[in-house]
């Protein structure tokens, strides 16, 4: 009997599809009204950190170098008070086979698919992860399908996303390109069900476990090279996997005093699923349209429970402006001779500002760089913005920036400033959404303890928020 393929039916079979596509029954981790066994989910991969390192090494993933950005550090110190301006470091994840840290996630997931006997792998992503999965699938001799949100309703595509589709196809993957909207995960799940392929999800425990090696390497390499842990690690924040995996890796390395900071581009007001707003975004990843929703409500993807849970780990969440990222991308190339893509440079723009808060004998490291290519360069992105009616000028980004209307390039580096998000407000939002999803603000002590873990707060904080919500 043929299965119903309407939206509600396919989405309603999500957990059953996951059982077939990952060999993982998410129901076994559920308990109580809203809590689930997160550590049990992570342990279900069966991989130790050492085993993941071994698996990644087989395809040339990991052990990427740390680069010292001497000239950008000197520039930051010019604007810091005397004795301040931490040394800025970059973990050069562009050295991975597919050109980004996403290779760590993909290596673990695709190796699992190969071991379990799947004929192919799939992923729903418009970003670097598609290239990473396609690259690893080619190495493992598996077929690959990548599903992208690429176009608006007029068939106009983002240059950055189109570049990533080109890279996926170069590795031999089939790319299914969709218009923006709610059909992404529906289409993905439907094809996944039909093909019987492995779901190499961004949000699976395999993917997040793969990122733990990144945080572990940061700690170990900094100790070896500089004799101490970094004071701060800055992670570009979109779906939350970078923050989650890096922080967990740092913890496994014993780097408990290193502060984990999430950074996103401020695109407030541009709704992710809006057709009209789709091509008004001049940065397609690492922005608040992903970072905030996935922090306060991580379980709205292609898996029943996301293993990316960034609010558990972030100690600060800062934003920068589009113009800051464009500017720092050019500065990295002009001052350091290093040309890298925009996502990692979101963290770099934040780190340039945050370094000025730290003593000069400390180290601040951005956890990624990424490859750059045709549609990912600054100039094609700015040209695309102009074509869509976006004004581009120099000025004060924090005073003049209006997402969807302009891009304000900083008049000079002193205008690159981070703005702190209100983490308590985000924690309240998380608790509110969790309670509404499960139909009650009256929850037991175990669920309260779970929400405290989820929000990196305390049971007392959760109880206070629950009283306010009631």
Mean pLDDT of the region 28-35: 87
Q: Smallest Cα–Cα separation from 325: which of 391, 372, 266?
A: 266
State the pLDDT at residue 1: 56
- Residue 418: pLDDT band (50, 70, 90) is very high
Mean pLDDT of 296-300: 93
The Cα 424–Cα 257 span in angstroms is 21
Closest of 35, 33, 34, 36 to residue 25, by C-alpha: 36
Helix 102-116 crosses helix 205-226 at what angle (to 10 degrees)? 130
Whether 63 shows a pLDDT value over 90: the answer reads yes
Q: What is the pLDDT of residue 33?
A: 78
The mean per-residue pLDDT over the stretch 180-209 comes to 92
Using the predicted structure, report yes or no on whether residue 80 has a pLDDT greater than 90: yes
- How confident is the model at residue 199, as a pLDDT? 96
Residue 29 confidence (pLDDT) above 70 = yes
How far apart (Å, rounded) are the C-alpha atoms in residues 39 and 37? Answer: 6
Nearest Cα to 207, choosing from 52, 90, 17?
52
Q: What is the CATH number of domain 63-96+209-420?
A: 3.40.50.1100
Q: What radius of gyration do the chain's Cα atoms show? A: 21
Least confident of 10-14, 20-24, 73-77, 231-235: 10-14
Reported as a pLDDT band with limits 50, 70 and 90, residue 285 is: confident
Span 342-356, mean pLDDT?
95
Average pLDDT, the chain: 94
Statement: residue 185 has pLDDT above 90: no
Weakest-pLDDT range from 24-33, 353-362, 418-427: 24-33
Other Cβ atoms within 10 Å of 251 Cβ, number: 17
In whole angstroms, what is the distance from residue 22 CA to residue 38 CA?
A: 17
Weakest-pLDDT range from 212-226, 271-285, 410-424, 431-445:
271-285
| pLDDT grade for 71, boundaries at 50, 70 and 90 | very high
Q: Which residues of 15-45 are buried (b: 16+ CB within 10 A; e: fewer)?
A: eebbeebbebebeebeeebbbbebeebbebb
Domain ranges of the chain: 7-55+100-205, 63-96+209-420, 431-469
Phi and psi torsions of 236, nearest 5°: -60, 135
Other C-beta atoms closer than 10 Å to the C-beta of 453 total 16
Residue 182 pLDDT exceeds 80: no
pLDDT at res. 126? 87
Highest mean pLDDT among 11-15, 132-136, 176-180, 372-376: 132-136
- In sequence order, the 6+-apart residues with CB closer than 8 A to the CB of 220 are 253
Question: CATH code for 7-55+100-205?
Answer: 3.40.50.1100
Q: Of 88-102, 182-196, 421-435, which range is least confident? A: 182-196
**pLDDT for res 272:** 74
| 6-15, 268-277, 359-368: which is most confident | 359-368
pLDDT > 90: what percent of the chain? 79
CATH topology of 7-55+100-205 equal to that of 63-96+209-420?
yes
Give me the pLDDT at residue 333, please. 96
């Amino acid at each position: 009997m043929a299965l119903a393929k309407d939206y509600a039916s396919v989405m309603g079979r999500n957990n059953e599809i996951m059982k077939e596509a990952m060999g993982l029954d998410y129901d076994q981790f559920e308990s109580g009204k809203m809590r689930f066994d997160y550590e049990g989910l992570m342990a279900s991969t069966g991989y130790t950190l050492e085993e993941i390192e071994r698996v990644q090494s087989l395809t040339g993933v990991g052990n990427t170098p740390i680069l010292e950005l001497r000239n950008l550090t000197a520039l930051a110190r010019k604007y810091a008070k005397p004795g301040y301006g931490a040394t800025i470091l970059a973990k050069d994840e562009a050295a991975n086979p597919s050109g980004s840290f996403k290779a760590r996630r993909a290596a673990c997931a695709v190796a699992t698919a190969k071991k379990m006997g799947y004929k192919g792998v799939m992923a729903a992503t418009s970003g670097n992860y598609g290239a990473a999965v396609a690259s690893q699938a080619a190495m493992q001799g598996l077929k690959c399908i990548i599903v992208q949100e690429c176009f608006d309703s007029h068939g106009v595509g983002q240059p950055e996303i189109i570049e990533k589709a080109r890279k996926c196809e170069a590795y031999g993957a089939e790319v299914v390109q969709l218009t923006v909207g709610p059909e992404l995960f529906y289409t993905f799940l439907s094809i996944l069900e039909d093909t019987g392929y492995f779901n190499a999800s961004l949000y699976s425990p395999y993917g997040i476990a793969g990122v733990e090696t990144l945080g572990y390497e940061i700690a170990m390499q900094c100790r070896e090279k500089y004799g101490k842990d970094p004071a701060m690690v800055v992670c570009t924040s979109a779906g939350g996997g970078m923050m989650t995996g890096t922080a967990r890796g740092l913890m496994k390395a014993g780097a408990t005093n290193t502060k984990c900071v999430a950074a996103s581009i401020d695109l407030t007001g541009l709704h992710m699923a809006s057709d009209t707003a789709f091509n008004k975004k001049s940065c397609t990843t690492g922005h608040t349209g992903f970072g905030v929703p996935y922090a306060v409500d991580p379980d709205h993807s292609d898996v029943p429970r996301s293993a990316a849970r960034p609010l558990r780990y972030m100690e600060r969440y800062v934003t920068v402006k589009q113009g800051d990222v464009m500017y720092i991308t050019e500065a990295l190339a002009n001052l350091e001779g290093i040309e890298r893509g925009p996502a990692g440079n979101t963290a770099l723009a934040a780190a340039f500002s945050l370094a000025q808060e730290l003593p000069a004998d400390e180290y601040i490291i951005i956890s990624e760089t990424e490859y750059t290519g045709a549609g990912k360069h600054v100039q094609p992105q700015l040209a695309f913005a102009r074509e869509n009616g976006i004004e581009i000028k120099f000025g004060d980004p924090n005073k003049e920036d209006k997402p969807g209307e302009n891009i304000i390039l900083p008049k000079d580096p002193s205008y690159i400033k981070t703005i702190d998000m209100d983490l308590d407000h985000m924690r309240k939002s998380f608790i509110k959404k969790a309670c509404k999803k499960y139909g009650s603000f009256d929850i037991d002590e175990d669920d309260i303890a779970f929400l405290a873990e989820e929000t990196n707060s305390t049971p007392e904080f959760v109880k206070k928020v629950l009283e306010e919500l009631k």
